[in-house]
Chains A and B, each alone.
Chain A
Amino acid sequence: MDKKTQKRIIIDILLVIALFAGLYVMEKTLPRNSMVFPVLKKGAIYALLAVSMNLLNGFTGLFSLGQAGFMLLGAYTYAILTIPVQSRASVYQYYDGGALTFALPPWLALILAGVVAALFASLIGFAVLRLKSDYLAIATLGFAEIIRAFVQWEAMGPITNGSNVLRKFPYFRSVLVPFAVVGICIFVIVLLLNSSYGRAFKAIRDDEVAAEAMGINLFKHKQMAFVISSFFAGVGGALFAMFNTTVIASTFKSSLTYEILLIVVLGGIGSVSGSVMASFLYVAASEWWLRFLDEPLFIGAFQVPLLKSGFRKVVFSVIIMVVVLFYREGMMGKNELSWEFIKDRLGKLKNKLKNIGKKKVKAEAENE
Chain B
Amino acid sequence: MEFSKFLPYILSGVSVGGQYALMAIGYTMVYGILRLINFAHGDIFMSAGLIMVYLATWLPIYVAMPLTIAITVAIGFLVERIAYKPLREAPRMSIMISAIGVSYFIQNFALYLTGGLTKQYPEIPFISRTVEIFGQRTKMVTVITPFLTLFLVIALVTLIKKTKVGMAMRAVSRDFETSRLMGIKINSVISVTFIIGTFLAAVGSMLYFTNYTGVSTISGSMPGLKAFVAAVFGGIGSIPGAVIGAFVIGICENIIKGLGWTTFSDAFTFALLIVILIFKPNGIFGEANTDKV
Which residues of A approach B to under 8 Å, CB–CB?
57, 63, 127-128, 130-131, 133-135, 137-139, 141-143, 145-146, 148-150, 152-154, 209, 254-255, 258-259, 261-262, 265, 269, 308-311, 313-314, 316-318, 320-321, 324-325, 328
Mask, B97-127, CB within 8 Å of A = 1, is 1101111110111011001100000000000
Task: Give the chain B neighbours of A141 by CB distance below 8 A.
Answer: 225, 270
B273 proximal to A (CB < 8 A): yes
Contact A309 B225 (CB under 8 A): no
Which single member of B82, B93, B96, B101 contacts A262 (CB below 8 Å)?
B101
The 7 closest A-B pairs by CB, nearest first: A142-B270, A310-B112, A149-B267, A317-B105, A313-B108, A146-B267, A317-B108
For the complex, give the distance between the alpha carbons of A133 and B102 in Å.
Answer: 20
For the complex, give the distance between the alpha carbons of A138 and B229 in Å.
Answer: 9
By the criterion of a CB under 8 Å from any partner CB, how many residues of chain B are at the interface? 46
Task: Give the chain A neighbours of B288 by CB distance below 8 A.
Answer: none
Contact A139 B273 (CB under 8 A): yes
Contact B104 A317 (CB under 8 A): yes
- Considering only CB atoms, which chain B residue lies closest to A144 in the complex? B270
Q: A139-B277, A149-B266, A321-B83 are in contact. Are A310 and B101 (CB under 8 A)?
A: no
Apart from A138-B273, A142-B271, list 18 A-B contacts with CB within 8 A. Answer: A57-B93, A134-B36, A134-B96, A135-B281, A138-B229, A139-B274, A142-B269, A154-B263, A254-B225, A262-B100, A269-B93, A309-B112, A309-B116, A314-B112, A320-B101, A321-B101, A325-B87, A328-B94
Contact B103 A258 (CB under 8 A): yes
Q: List 30 A-B contacts (CB under 8 A).
A: A63-B96, A128-B274, A128-B277, A133-B96, A134-B37, A134-B92, A135-B232, A135-B277, A138-B37, A138-B228, A141-B270, A142-B269, A145-B270, A149-B267, A153-B264, A209-B293, A255-B107, A255-B221, A261-B97, A262-B100, A269-B93, A309-B115, A310-B112, A314-B112, A317-B101, A320-B105, A321-B83, A321-B105, A324-B101, A328-B94
B90 proximal to A (CB < 8 A): yes
- Considering only CB atoms, which chain B residue lies closest to A207 in the complex? B293
Task: Give the interface centre of A131, A258, A311, A324 by most chain B CB atoms within 10 Å.
Answer: A324
Q: How far is the CB of B59 from chain A (nearest CB, A)?
A: 25
For the complex, give the distance between the alpha carbons of A67 and B229 in Å.
Answer: 20
For the complex, give the distance between the alpha carbons of A269 and B100 in Å.
Answer: 15
Task: Give the interface centre of A57, A138, A265, A313 by most chain B CB atoms within 10 Å.
Answer: A138
Task: Give the chain A neighbours of B108 by CB distance below 8 A.
Answer: 310, 313-314, 316-317
Task: Give the chain A neighbours of B115 by CB distance below 8 A.
Answer: 308-310
Q: How far is the CB of A36 from chain B (nearest CB, A)?
A: 26
- Considering only CB atoms, which chain B residue lies closest to A326 in the complex? B86
B35 proximal to A (CB < 8 A): yes
Contact A137 B263 (CB under 8 A): no
B278 proximal to A (CB < 8 A): yes
For the complex, give the distance between the alpha carbons of A138 and B100 in Å.
Answer: 12
Q: How far is the CB of A299 from chain B (nearest CB, A)?
A: 21
Contact B112 A313 (CB under 8 A): yes
Task: Give the chain B neighbours of A154 by CB distance below 8 A.
Answer: 263
State the main secondary structure of chain B at its contact with A. helix
Q: A254-B221, A258-B104 are in contact. Are A149 and B264 (CB under 8 A)?
A: yes
Which single member of B83, B112, B263, B266 contacts A325 (CB below 8 Å)?
B83
Residues 199-226 of B contacting A (Cβ, < 8 Å): 218, 221, 225
Q: A209-B293, A316-B108 are in contact. Are A324 and B270 (CB under 8 A)?
A: no
Contact B274 A145 (CB under 8 A): no
Contact A143 B270 (CB under 8 A): yes
Residues 264-289 of B contacting A (Cβ, < 8 Å): 264, 266-267, 269-271, 273-274, 277-278, 281
For the complex, give the distance between the alpha carbons of A316 and B109 in Å.
Answer: 10
Contact A149 B274 (CB under 8 A): no
- Considering only CB atoms, which chain B residue lies closest to A264 in the complex? B97
Contact B93 A133 (CB under 8 A): yes
Task: Give the chain B neighbours of A265 by CB distance below 8 A.
Answer: 97, 101
Q: A133-B93, A134-B92 are in contact. Are A145 and B87 (CB under 8 A)?
A: no
Task: Give the chain A neighbours of B87 by CB distance below 8 A.
Answer: 325
Task: Give the chain A neighbours of B96 by CB distance below 8 A.
Answer: 63, 133-134, 137
Contact B100 A146 (CB under 8 A): no
For the complex, give the distance between the alpha carbons of A142 and B90 in Å.
Answer: 26
Q: How far is the CB of A340 from chain B (nearest CB, A)?
A: 27
Q: A141-B225, A142-B274, A316-B108 are in contact. Are A150 and B267 (CB under 8 A)?
A: yes
Q: How far is the CB of B113 from chain A (nearest CB, A)?
A: 8
Q: How far is the CB of B77 from chain A (nearest CB, A)?
A: 17
Mask, B38-63, CB within 8 Å of A = 1, is 00000000000000000000000000
Contact B274 A143 (CB under 8 A): yes
Contact B109 A138 (CB under 8 A): no
Residues 229-276 of B contacting A (Cβ, < 8 Å): 229, 232, 263-264, 266-267, 269-271, 273-274
